[in-house]
Amino acid sequence: MRYISTRGEAPALGFEDVLLTGLATDGGLYVPESLPHFSLEEIRSWRGLPYAELAYKVMYPFVEDAIPADDFRKMLDETYSVFSHQAVAPLVQLDTNEWVMELFRGPTLAFKDFALQLLGRLLDYVLEKRNQHVVIMGATSGDTGSAAIEGCRRCEHVDIFILHPHQRVSEVQRRQMTTVQGDNIHNIAVKGNFDDCQRMVKESFGNQSFLGGKTQLAAVNSINWARIMAQIVYYFQASLALGGPDRSMAFSVPTGNFGDIFAGYLAKKMGLPISQLVIATNRNDILHRFMSGNKYEQHQLEHTLSPSMDIMVSSNFERLLFDLHGRDGAAVKTLLENAAKGPVSIEDYRWKHARKLFDSDAVDDKTTCDTIRDVYEQNEYLLDPHTAIGVRAARNCRRDSAVPMITLGTAHPAKFPDAIAETGLSVKPQLPAHMADLFEREERYTVLDNDVSEVQGFIAKHWKNA
């Protein structure tokens, strides 16, 4: 399988190169030249498979040119064996035909573990084969950083530099990143917001001269195709558990960078019956404003109780725009260049095509707290603020009560104790046993100005072969 850029000017690459490249040389994101498509009969035959085997069925077409089947199966078995639940992604019922899929049973208690535990193993495999070293540079709004560090910290051929917005992630999220020991692990707190961090990462991938030609950058953010690929699987898992593919499903996805919900869009294109995808956002609602009114316009980024979604520039939205524009890279490039200058819209027929599948909602902090409290009082089930936004958006946007509605539970509530306290509930979410001493561990991180040159200088100085 070959991969092409959403901006149409970079060369097509195989899986190994896409894994290591991240951002395309023309500034675009890589997507498969074509998608595998599974018949209903084939999907039906996967009922009852363990998660790792289902992951193999869904993902192997994307990597088969690069990784032998037995090696990939072994990676998947190792990846999902570290999750704390035998089902890996268990479903919890909230109401009639309403479910939460718990995607926080991995080592860092967030959905990012599904992809980043695998990404670390993929990098190790490819870099060992190539006898190559890379520098991982990533930006996090809270969860990607800890999942990337946990997934990649044992990789012998990488140095890891994770940027997070200073004092704009929860304390648990920060400590999950900054208490992991290792000479190859570097946490940078940037005096800015997540969009600033993400911009620095994109600029650095576009011009890697600060590394002096001695190594190259590799991406752990969802600009890396491998992240999206791994997230497709749990849509199939949820559907199969609730009677799919013989009945359609609806999903509500808390999202800031559009990666997790784009994976659901791909699952539908690959043959999984999905009738609705709900884009659930907080006050940073650029995706909701586009999907509800065909206007893509950046506003001032706001700090909320759901910090992992405090994002205004949704990188993966470019991948959807590429499809909406008939895979015309030049059109996407022009649109995004215009979006950097002011509000943009797309042709009405393209927007209406997107609206056939997507709905959206924006949920403020008060409604988030109300939802956490209501669900707990009804079910004694505690939602984190991001999942609560997903549940509220699902209830507000649901098209058909006969179709199962599944909200992706993206993080464990113990990661956001301050948000839970805001609800007025007396319950205090507890960290699991393997993190019980998190607040006693030594932290290590460096605070830097919101300046790409300063950040690049720090990386150039501190990677191990510098």
In three-state form (DSSP H/G/I as H, E/B as E, the rest C), the secondary structure along 341-390 is: CCCECCCHHHHHHHHCCEEEEECCHHHHHHHHHHHHHHHCCCCCHHHHHH
Of 74, 112, 269, 461, catalytic: 112
> What is the rounded distance in angstroms from the CA atom of residue 237 to the CA atom of residue 283?
30
Confidence of residue 141 (pLDDT cuts 50, 70, 90): confident
| Model confidence at 198: pLDDT above 80 | yes
Domain 86-107+227-422 maps to which CATH number in 3.40.50.1100, 3.40.50.720, 3.40.50.300, 1.10.1740.110?
3.40.50.1100
Only one residue has tokens 């932290």, namely 443
What is the structure's pLDDT at 75?
Answer: 97
Give the mean pLDDT of 318-336.
97
Residues 6+ apart with CB under 8 A from 407: 98, 99, 100, 101, 251, 252, 253, 254, 280, 387, 390, 391, 394
Report if pTM > 0.85: yes
Q: Which residues contact 330 (CB under 8 A, 6 or more apart)?
A: 7, 8
Rounded Cα gap, residues 127 and 125, in angstroms: 6
Confidence of residue 154 (pLDDT cuts 50, 70, 90): confident
Domain regions of the chain by residue span = 86-107+227-422
Scored b (16 or more CB within 10 A) or e, 28-65 reads: bbbbbeebbebeeeebeebeeeebbebbbbbbebbbee
Helix (H, G, I), strand (E, B) or coil at 336: helix
pLDDT band at 221 (very low <50, low <70, confident <90, very high): confident
Cross-strand bridge partners of residue 133: none
Q: What is the pLDDT of residues 94-132, one digit of tens each?
A: 999 999 999 999 999 999 999 999 999 999 999 999 999
At 40-79, the pLDDT tens digits run 999 999 999 999 999 999 999 999 999 999 999 999 999 9
Instruction: Write down the pLDDT at residue 62.
Output: 98
Q: What is the pLDDT of residues 425-464, one digit of tens each?
A: 999 999 999 999 999 999 999 999 999 999 999 999 999 8
Q: CA-to-CA distance for 310 and 255, rounded, in angstroms?
A: 9
Specify whether 112 is catalytic.
yes
pLDDT in tens, 12-34: 999 999 999 888 999 999 999 99
Question: Under a CB-based contact definition with an 8 Å cutoff, are residues 311 and 261 in contact?
Answer: no
Report whether pLDDT(466) > 70. Answer: no
Question: What's the chain's average pLDDT?
Answer: 95
How far is Cα of residue 397 from the mean position of the Cα atoms in its chain? 22
| pLDDT tops 90 at residue 150 | yes
pLDDT digits (tens, 9 = 90+) for 392-405: 999 999 999 999 99
Structure tokens at 410: 């993206």
31 and 6 in contact (C-beta within 8 Å)? yes
Whole-angstrom Cα distance, residue 130 to residue 126? Answer: 6
User: Angle, to 10 degrees, between the axis of helix 348-355 and the axis of helix 317-324?
Assistant: 120
pLDDT tens digits for range 253-277: 999 999 999 999 999 999 999 999 9
Q: What mean pLDDT is predicted for residues 312-332?
A: 96
Q: Which residues of 441-453 are buried (b: 16+ CB within 10 A; e: fewer)?
A: eeeebeebebebe
